[in-house]
Structure 1
């Protein structure tokens, strides 16, 4: 392969169509392909194939043409210098040996692409001539844009030489106009995601050679291909493969192994985080959204466990010779969050496993409902009995035996006590060999594959959210604000109510999880006309590590196909009612395009402070007793609520009888949250809310501040944030009393104070009244702009206690002030007034007393009124320029400024929509 780049390069063969003019920044590249010209042209002139070889291609804003035709026009999404932009092409010329495209991009950029073919021995020489001019490319940005385009085209030609062109005949159709859904008469976009096949596999053998998780998943996906009623090659044509991380055998990139076994060559592999039952729905929703955006055409999604085999091998001392991958292997992308699931107080109390936590929550539910032990046991065993009836009719369930409430309530050798009030048959069954697989693709790909529309099931909406991470810091053990938000999000986007949902599969690891989910979604738990599961729950169908919800989707697909027009809802849970996801499905096409909704945004989560001990007694909130394998009690765990709303979690001796008062004493409320968040259009206000201690930062406050900043960054409607404090003082720094008891305000993501270690990616303004001392000054310095009242004081008094401001205060002062002033603040510990720091350029605006917040809000609104990409690019240039040499400064400037092209492209599309 030969390639050249230059203004006056001599082509290897004259192009059949000469460009009408030479653009300002030209290129010429060529490569030889081992295929005849007609085959090469058929491949290159099929827009649907662009994703296979053109590395710049990211999707289609509208409907791409079936094939290129002279005079035809189409729009394409590409990446230019790493930034998504839109190019509008016109086919100026087309012959049996050439294609000539002229394009216009954002901000007046013009692009020409002239492709010519000539026989070369037994192959074809492909030559790309072209250039770029206009708009910002005529200035200092030009060389960067030209080099980026040339590099991308050079890589594309290399990819083209490796393409299997003889086997890659043009597809029958590209996405050409709307598709008529015959049963409903609706016209749907060709990029609408549809499930066309679902398969499950149950491996009863525990012989180590009978199948590792990826092997079991391969069986499930082959069954899914058979389920399409058209063995169409969808498995090998997949461009994306997703894998729900396996617990029984961990693969660095399980999707890549799965693709290899199926003969697929995907461009992307996606894997979920190591632990989390929310994984299957997070993966499904993410990939469905990728399809709707035009980034994915055919996807295979699977998950599996071979825990029964792994356990048998361990008991027998037999090593597992299952696949391993080279060090450094990784998927294209990993979804979800992996964090330590337990706080120090929970760990000290022995509250360390899902079984313990859900049992504790179950007792809190009993207390809330005012039920005695026998009444409550009747309630949960009847619920679980109904799940077993569903599992008995599920051919893929691990335990296909219906159980009566009496059987479930009776403790015996096969149903021993494990953690009160749960016996073994009321808990998740992890030792299973189970797999599920889904084929998800565009409606256009399904039509091309000849899959009957009666097999299509449409995702309507997906959503995810997270409750307060540590269970004992939640305000109410019996509620899930995140699950409520997820339910509202998916139903709202689908235009449905919960009464419209005919089929349900609520994540059923323990009875407590089902009861809380039903309550948050507005569902009764005992409606015989609408069971809460189509799968059977994790006890009876089997709790295959992270992948139970993968089976939920497969079963909902099967049920909905046999009831056209019906709706199904699946939920999924990770850790201890912590991570939540949901999906709505139907055989009816969606009214609104599919969305994967981040329901965390603007979600209020009331919290409690949690401690391991307290001197005063509290109100008993929840308890559980753990048992040894012989059925004897081992230890107790209790939570109590103190008068100020603090929760105490501690280990005890096993409790006898029923320790709850009847009727139960009301629990003290959780108290005011340490951080308040308000939303004013594009401006988010984050308010420290501990005025009684001058807004000092303890660990709970630091975590709440980190969460508020993370939510601000994830909120697509939020442009600028204002950080301020309640009361007369902005912030006095670290909470000394908390530090004295060994509690330090350090968070996992943002370090000290929950903010100082990592600035948000969007502008942050500090509004300071009164004083910002020690860590309070460091929080203000972590902001991009500071607005202060004229009586405000700023200082770093740590030096007086033999300390140094460790949250970046001294460092940021050194960068923002003259050396002598920075040293005066750092070495004396004496505060300085706002006016002096304003005169030195550290503070942006000084206001009358009581007006700092109002002024900061106005400043934030002014910034938020400008196009966000331009604001972020300007901010980045200011932050990074100090590290650039004079020689490279304009090159870096051009790179960053190029990202604004993406916003201009979006503005063009918006203007087009408004005109049409």
Structure 2
């Protein structure tokens, strides 16, 4: 971009602009107010949002009153897309004119000339200007000019209705986006640090054994922790982002806003994690660190805490807690993460309803894998937890560092006793100050207090525990470990300081195995949730605070910390060091290309090989019930409650190997930018049951979330694309409807990225509707398409009739819908429903080639072109070009936009 300076006449004419740019416009309106009052209104930046419809905000503090020579930046909506324009006030003549020169992205130049002419009791306001340069000199030029002209015409209409009876107020100060400084030299290492590198400059902790409820709520505890994190109160007050790890013991609509109020901060953004999930602290740190690297945040405060001990005392005594509430409708700027029901029907029926039960089940699956006797395994996990207790004994913030002999270590859920489980009744909180290196430098924070966030990652295992292929493994932990180590260039052996999320021994052992860490090496700097304390979702916040102190004492060391939500379900990881990073920080989503082998799950109704078990106990220490999982011959996991006594009398495990999982109902392959999603139930003609619908939804979700994936191909295994809904499963009441994408796991919400259906054989009923939900269809010439639901007294409920009616002549759509008879691919190709017809057996190959050719184009241009085709039927004729301008305008700021390409 460049700024063209032009001379301003000493007395500019009242109506004619000093110079016209290319693609000019001239607009005018009459305003019932004196020119002096209108001029004051137009030259005050506080009023721009009131009349200029293009105005979208200020990237830096606005200029106040406009005067000749003033320069300022403004965000405007150019063809519906926010872009930044840098203005120079080229001239201001009192009560007569204002002249602005501006430059936008890619060399676009804009000129605006507002002139005022008294007319009777009012004023004629004329707006001249033009746009030229960059893409406006090419084929997009008329579209850009038309969009600008219409926006300015609407702006003048607003101006004519404005209230000029009182002088406009001054523009309130706004948060300025930081100007990126030059590299900052890291004195100890001599390395140059990008100014927008995220660094932790403070980490405080509170562990309060008082159960006095006054100022004892979780937010108040977190504020105390934040004050302990720094002596510089000005740093706390300057925060532009505040994050809150959701509390379980007392829920806040926007806990971050309460923290900000108590610290006199005025953040532009508040962020809160989902209600349940120990992964929250690291998800929040990694998310905000990524915002810092983008220049969206300079100084962030992150708080988390619980006051469950106080809440429990209050409940036992019948006292109500007068802790902070917030008005209805209060909400944070963003909520990070999402939750759903934690268990499926077989788990609930068997009594697997609490973390204790699930982690105990993991523990027995580990014992089976390790081939240990109950006594040997008990000794193993007891020794592991003893090492955690030793660390907690050195942690000044630990809740139960020295459990005495009077502690009731009764059995609670085999093989766990009470001192092998998380201790949730604590009053604990943390406060972390995370900012850019530039903000730390400008605030004068000594570099020996800087801890760099090198990389973060997150991923989710199969949501329901009993649907995972292996209860003693976590593909997601393996994936996030590989992601952060790959990004940082470190090996696991390079990590000196480790803190693995330690709610139960099984969580630590599985994570250590997936990360390649020996279980007998130090795996915590905190002490685990039994001894250090389990503050709801916020244990990892304490781990980070402890690692900050370790790394300040070991400035060349590296640290790795993990966090877990639900039942080894949601995972997050971060790598920290006092050494500057070799590569810029990234918050990596390790989930989209995570292979998730699954098992079918059902109620126990046949023989199986015992895989895992646990026994729950009553408070008096007597066994209550047993819960087992068994694997049937076809790989299905069976879940049931049982008599506990036989499980305790002898080791119930046999040497018989576990049957492997059955074939997954959906296979996913990654071929660079092309993702292949394959329905994989050939014995059922690829009919879709609930498990298949869920797997298909997850595959589509991952495809959309994968930044490398551009186009997907949906096809089937075997000779048939899909016979639609699995009617046998439906007869059992198991309908293939998912929460996110509806019937069949796709049809209610197809992906925004292009999807191509490759059809061999039959695509009938729901199979036809799956194909119609794709954007393009490639079919073998012997393929058949049909919606035979009418023959069964049904209607194609997944959008089949609607999509056929939109894509085919009315008579043909009616023939398919009313007769239920299929039609051959060739006829539907001739009518425009099918894009390409191939020889039998060649549909997938042709579809893959088509996907590759689409993926070769800039992703944004492809997405926007698809959006226009998808949405245009909902536009009126009058709206169409406005929507078109808005969508097409998004390519203006794209780095891939190049007019030189043919």
Common fold by TM > 0.5: yes
Match of 2:464 among 451, 466, 470: 470
Distance in 2 (alpha carbons) for counterparts of 1:33 and 1:550: 54
Structure 1 range deviating more: 806-815 or 551-560:
806-815
* 1:289 equivalent in structure 2: 290
Match of 1:654 among 644, 657, 674: 644
Cα gap change, 1:113 to 1:660, in 2 (>3 Å): farther
Distance in 2 (alpha carbons) for counterparts of 1:464 and 1:737: 38
- Give a deviation string over 1:214-237, Cα, whole Å, max 9, x none: 1111111111122xxxx1511111
Distance in 1 (alpha carbons) for counterparts of 2:27 and 2:190: 49
Distance in 1 (alpha carbons) for counterparts of 2:149 and 2:622: 75
Would the aligned equivalents of 1:791 and 1:833 in 2 still touch at CA under 8 Å?
A: yes
Would the aligned equivalents of 1:56 and 1:80 in 2 still touch at CA under 8 Å?
A: no
Report the 3-state secondary structure (helix = DSSP H, G, I; strand = E; otherwise coil) of the residue aligned with 2:892. Answer: helix
CA positional deviation for 1:141: 3.4
Distance in 2 (alpha carbons) for counterparts of 1:523 and 1:810: 56
CA positional deviation for 1:14: 9.7
CA positional deviation for 1:827: 2.0
CA positional deviation for 1:801: 2.0
Structure 2 unaligned regions, length at least 5: 1-8, 29-34, 47-54, 62-67, 115-126
Would the aligned equivalents of 1:85 and 1:901 in 2 still touch at CA under 8 Å?
A: no
Would the aligned equivalents of 1:834 and 1:846 in 2 still touch at CA under 8 Å?
A: yes
Cα gap change, 1:425 to 1:771, in 2 (>3 Å): same
Match of 1:83 among 67, 81, 90: 81
Cα gap change, 1:58 to 1:499, in 2 (>3 Å): farther
Cα gap change, 1:262 to 1:570, in 2 (>3 Å): same
Report the 3-state secondary structure (helix = DSSP H, G, I; strand = E; otherwise coil) of the residue aligned with 1:542. Answer: coil
CA positional deviation for 1:201: 1.1
* 1:629 equivalent in structure 2: 619
Report the 3-state secondary structure (helix = DSSP H, G, I; strand = E; otherwise coil) of the residue aligned with 1:286. Answer: helix
Report the 3-state secondary structure (helix = DSSP H, G, I; strand = E; otherwise coil) of the residue aligned with 2:456. Answer: strand
- Give a deviation string over 1:471-522, Cα, whole Å, max 9, x none: 1011100000010000010111011011111111100000000000000010
Match of 2:188 among 144, 161, 183: 183
Report the 3-state secondary structure (helix = DSSP H, G, I; strand = E; otherwise coil) of the residue aligned with 1:759. Answer: coil
Would the aligned equivalents of 1:91 and 1:99 in 2 still touch at CA under 8 Å?
A: no
1:118-197 → structure 2 map (5 Å cutoff): 132-134=131-133, 135-136=135-136, 138-145=141-148, 161=170, 163=172, 174-197=179-202
Structure 1 range deviating more: 357-366 or 690-699:
690-699
Report the 3-state secondary structure (helix = DSSP H, G, I; strand = E; otherwise coil) of the residue aligned with 1:788. Answer: strand
When the two structures are aligned, how many residues end up with a matched partner? 839
* 1:214 equivalent in structure 2: 219
Match of 1:815 among 806, 810, 835: 806
CA positional deviation for 1:736: 2.2
* 1:122 equivalent in structure 2: none
1:379-418 → structure 2 map (5 Å cutoff): 379-401=380-402, 414-418=408-412
Distance in 2 (alpha carbons) for counterparts of 1:829 and 1:324: 59
Matched, 1:753 2:744: yes
* 1:867 equivalent in structure 2: 858
Would the aligned equivalents of 2:79 and 2:887 in 1 still touch at CA under 8 Å?
A: no
Distance in 2 (alpha carbons) for counterparts of 1:779 and 1:441: 47
Distance in 2 (alpha carbons) for counterparts of 1:252 and 1:184: 44
- Give a deviation string over 1:703-747, Cα, whole Å, max 9, x none: 111111011001111111110001100001112222233322111
CA positional deviation for 1:398: 0.9
Cα gap change, 1:588 to 1:796, in 2 (>3 Å): same
* 2:109 equivalent in structure 1: 110
Distance in 2 (alpha carbons) for counterparts of 1:439 and 1:910: 47
* 2:819 equivalent in structure 1: 828
Structure 1 range deviating more: 433-442 or 856-865:
856-865
Report the 3-state secondary structure (helix = DSSP H, G, I; strand = E; otherwise coil) of the residue aligned with 1:377. Answer: helix
* 2:425 equivalent in structure 1: 431
Cα gap change, 1:111 to 1:187, in 2 (>3 Å): farther
Distance in 2 (alpha carbons) for counterparts of 1:605 and 1:348: 25
Distance in 1 (alpha carbons) for counterparts of 2:545 and 2:704: 34
* 1:254 equivalent in structure 2: 255
Match of 1:896 among 887, 891, 894: 887
Match of 1:493 among 462, 487, 494: 487
* 1:503 equivalent in structure 2: 497
- Give a deviation string over 1:824-857, Cα, whole Å, max 9, x none: 2122221111111112221111111111111111
* 2:516 equivalent in structure 1: 522
CA positional deviation for 1:800: 1.9
TM (normalized to structure 2)?
A: 0.86
1:470-869 → structure 2 map (5 Å cutoff): 470-527=464-521, 531-614=522-605, 616-656=606-646, 657=648, 660=651, 664-869=655-860
Distance in 2 (alpha carbons) for counterparts of 1:193 and 1:99: 42
Would the aligned equivalents of 1:174 and 1:444 in 2 still touch at CA under 8 Å?
A: no
CA positional deviation for 1:33: 15
Cα gap change, 1:608 to 1:205, in 2 (>3 Å): same
CA positional deviation for 1:629: 1.4
Report the 3-state secondary structure (helix = DSSP H, G, I; strand = E; otherwise coil) of the residue aligned with 1:326. Answer: coil
Distance in 2 (alpha carbons) for counterparts of 1:519 and 1:361: 13
Cα gap change, 1:33 to 1:182, in 2 (>3 Å): farther
Report the 3-state secondary structure (helix = DSSP H, G, I; strand = E; otherwise coil) of the residue aligned with 1:651. Answer: strand
Would the aligned equivalents of 1:370 and 1:663 in 2 still touch at CA under 8 Å?
A: no
Structure 1 range deviating more: 198-207 or 767-776:
198-207
> What's the C-alpha RMSD, in Å, of the aligned pairs?
3.7
Cα gap change, 1:140 to 1:94, in 2 (>3 Å): closer
Report the 3-state secondary structure (helix = DSSP H, G, I; strand = E; otherwise coil) of the residue aligned with 1:866. Answer: coil
Would the aligned equivalents of 1:132 and 1:146 in 2 still touch at CA under 8 Å?
A: no
Would the aligned equivalents of 1:33 and 1:161 in 2 still touch at CA under 8 Å?
A: no
* 1:3 equivalent in structure 2: none
TM (normalized to structure 1)?
A: 0.85
Report the 3-state secondary structure (helix = DSSP H, G, I; strand = E; otherwise coil) of the residue aligned with 1:776. Answer: helix
* 1:442 equivalent in structure 2: 436
CA positional deviation for 1:823: 2.1
